[in-house]
Structure 1
Amino acid sequence: MERLVMTPGPTQSSEEVRGALSIKNTNTDLDKDFFKLYNDTCKKAKKLVNSKDSKAIIMLGEAILGLESACASFIEEGDRVLCIDNGIFGRGFGEFTDMYGAETIYFRSDYKRGIDVDELEKFIDENGPFKLATLVHCETPTGITNPIEDICPLLNKKGIISIVDAVSSYGGEFISMDEWAIDMLIAGTQKCLSVTAGGTLVFLSNRAVEVLENRKSSVKSFYANLKNWLLVMEN
């Protein structure tokens, strides 16, 4: 009897997806056709976040790679980072920000409801300034969603780079990256897309790219260094 996987992730892949995985590939480091496939796929991925202006990157690694890449690439020693915590994964972002030398300040809210934007704005005004803010769109354990369509424009207005974990919402919830002024959005293949685990999608706004390219110190990682990826992006 075939088992039906009904966990929130990794979700069950379809026969069509499993068939695509069996297609033979050439050397992806050298094959010009692969470069075209990669960039075409990035362009298609951007359609799910309704973005024309962003840069898209597809990385090999479980989606947590995207979360760490965000912190490794954007945080410099002593940066003040706002960690928006109303769920397990929202709080967990702080472990990465601490790891890369940030001064992490938590905005803590009810784990049973989305963030109150007015409360968040008051907190920022009283505790800022911040260079970055980390937040989760959809918290997998509870299923709550945060109103990133209101939060990210607020962060943009306050001069704060927004880093959004959309791992369990990408492909399932409407997202408008350009219109909502999202600076960085991280997604995974193993949730709403129902593709096998092991793929991370990263989307960067023009503002995020500018901040990344003008950081003063070197990134303390190689594979998680998004500056390295920008060198080969065409989309």
Structure 2
Amino acid sequence: MSVAPKANPPIRTLLGPGPSPVNPRVLQALSLPVVGHLDPKFLEIMDQSMAMLREIFQTKNRLALPMSGTGSAGMETCFVNLIEPGDAVLIGVNGVFGTRMVDVAQRCGAQVDGVEAEWGTALDPQSFKAALGKKRYKLVALVHAETSTGVLQPLDDIARLVREHGALLLVDAVTSLGGAPVKVDELGIDVCYSCTQKCLGCPPGLSPVTFNERALEIIRNRKTKVQSWYLDLSMIEKYWGSERLYHHTAPISMNYALHEALRIVLEEGLAAAWRRHRQVHETFIREMRRLEIEPAVAESIRAPMINAIKIPAGVDDAKVRQRLYDDFNIEIGAGLGPLKGKIWRVGLMGHGARVENVEILAKALKQLI
């Protein structure tokens, strides 16, 4: 039997769409002693993490917890718990992750309609108004910061329309949570999910979610079992709640990492973290324009943590990204779908949202284009 060589990954400057650079304090937390998933000390950490997640989601919801799985597990958690076969669902689609929502909802048996916009543009509230006026929907879902395009979707008007029509509002905050205001309670967002590896500055592996009481009541009154046993919140909330009923073995070390990552965000302060992401984004735009590289998204809807820039004419997309890896140990993201070969996606998220990272990338690109 041959033994594989010891893993020796390079130290990269991670400026792609995720994962983002991890704070050394979070890496240290990953190495803390593993205890049992019902150990009193671990239960304390769980309670503290829930309280900190409420702060970062800007909610007073009782249920705010990290699901065991990446951001896509958070997406599935929301749909499988709320949707039963035949339910009408309206989804905003202007990128990869709105498209993925449609797929997940359809797998739950939902009757899905879409509100679409060109990739790289925002969804129009008037399109939601028109759709909501024609049909009664159980759930309306959209992405706050579309990772595939760099668009930060304005939520206020759409949230108001959804409330007026009595539907549940589901928001994907995978890329925005910790890097921009999400305002769950203020906007009346019923259900929201995120991930750990973007603006929270943690490795991938958990998906924070929050459900308000209105959404939880729908789960309690289901006519059919939740499609997924593993993601069934009617059971999982009894582990994270006062009953402490075993459901599955929680990923102990990842929960340590998230706990420390949340502490770091709140030590800085939410408003300060949002401001830092915005200021680093503005510095990035200035530096790119010095290289005659233009942003691909209109200024009013640019997501500060995931920056889409146009690939200059005549520049070999794949060759530049490969040389960034090989010569500079820098990762940036390629365009997806209709934007493939047209944009680069530069993540300035969490611990990676620092001016020195902008300078490192700008210096490298100056040599390559």
Q: Do the two structures share a fold, i.e. TM-score over 0.5?
A: yes
Query: Which residue number in structure 1 is paired with residue 30 of structure 2?
Result: 21
> Is residue 152 of structure 2 the alignment partner of residue 145 of structure 1?
yes
Q: TM-score normalised to the size of structure 2?
A: 0.61
8 A contact 1:87–1:111 mirrored in 2: yes
Deviation at 1:54, TM superposition (A): 4.4
> Is residue 99 of structure 2 the alignment partner of residue 99 of structure 1?
no
Deviates more, 1:108-117 or 1:35-44: 108-117
Supply the distance in 2 between the matched residues of 1:69 and 1:59 (Cα, whole angstroms): 8
Deviation at 1:129, TM superposition (A): 0.8
Q: TM-score normalised to the size of structure 1?
A: 0.94
Q: 2:54 pairs with 46, 49, 58, which one?
A: 46
> Per-residue displacement from partner, 1:38-57 (whole Å, max 9, x unpaired)?
01111101111211134112
Deviation at 1:195, TM superposition (A): 0.4
Supply the distance in 2 between the matched residues of 1:200 and 1:22 (Cα, whole angstroms): 20
> Is residue 214 of structure 2 the alignment partner of residue 214 of structure 1?
no
8 A contact 2:173–2:192 mirrored in 1: yes
> Is residue 175 of structure 2 the alignment partner of residue 168 of structure 1?
yes
Q: 3-state SS of the aligned residue for 2:57? A: coil
Q: Which residues of structure 1 form unaligned runs of 5+?
A: none
8 A contact 1:153–1:182 mirrored in 2: no
Supply the distance in 1 between the matched residues of 2:154 and 2:176 (Cα, whole angstroms): 12
Supply the distance in 2 between the matched residues of 1:84 and 1:2 (Cα, whole angstroms): 37
Q: 1:77 pairs with 72, 85, 88, which one?
A: 85
8 A contact 2:174–2:194 mirrored in 1: yes
Identity in percent: 31
AA partner of residue 64 (structure 2): A
Supply the distance in 2 between the matched residues of 1:201 and 1:97 (Cα, whole angstroms): 19
AA partner of residue 190 (structure 1): Q
Deviation at 1:220, TM superposition (A): 1.7
> Per-residue displacement from partner, 1:9-60 (whole Å, max 9, x unpaired)?
01111211111111112111x2012112101111101111211134112122
AA partner of residue 145 (structure 1): L
Query: Which residue number in structure 2 is paired with residue 65 of structure 1?
Result: 73
More helix by share: 2
Aligned positions of 1:109-148 closer than 5 A: 109-126=117-134, 128-148=135-155
Supply the distance in 1 between the matched residues of 2:41 and 2:164 (Cα, whole angstroms): 42
Structure with greater Cα Rg: 2
Structure number with the bigger relative contact order (C-alpha 8 A, sep ≥ 6) is 1
